[in-house]
Chains A and B, each alone.
Chain A
């Protein structure tokens, strides 16, 4: 699994951080998404897909 994020699209809803805080964080200055781990372990795959599905700005892309 490989994750690509689009910081320009991000609106800082924070739903990715709630879904899987091991993989996503937010910038202190404006809440925009930060990718902590672009190739997370398999046991986080379900949570990562959930994060991408709930992202309101469609700023998270998951390549399997």
Chain B
């Protein structure tokens, strides 16, 4: 891996997961040893969608390689692609110039439910790394084959065996058919709303959320990460038609588990559990999946 890292760092500005005051964050890295395998504190969305930037000027981006992304977080980008790749020029420019190296988790994390959406072995990736003791097994996309000319090729069997064993360690939530089960008038939404403080954590932590707001700042026009939980969301067009908080929370869950499924064929959720971890009032998206709507 060291050599692969060295080769990649010749062509890319290299970033990776490092530990800082006990927290795993993304920063510039110069050697492979400093990269942490632990799950990062957040999904590294800011590599493709900056938290705040001037949109009057799109500069050519440098090529960046990001090591240590977890599969659940990386999967978010492939889901975003379906919606904004080729449409959002800022996202597209960065997406095309960024190489993600996802580290597959060896063990399930607390609270995560990725196996409900396929588990940590992804079928789309740049470089997918699975450590087995001292050895690394790597799945490489065609785009980056050049870095692996000198390495032995093995079949997919290691990955599929791993996947089977990993997935057997976690309970799979009943996501199938959720788009038909969820209820518009469920009491869940109002109960969530009674606790929610509109902090936006669920959006900001979500590896699949990409919405932003536009505003003018003197001679610049900027965009900034936005949250659909806020009443002013989309106010730059018609304004938020969802007047009450319970309606806005419901919209978020319906977007993830109903509308995206119906329009794009998959759920807009990777099971990362980040929205649950960052929610200050304990709203658990898993409850949306497991709730018994039939009794309402």
Partners in one complex: no
B residues lining the A interface (CB < 8 Å): none
A residues lining the B interface (CB < 8 Å): none
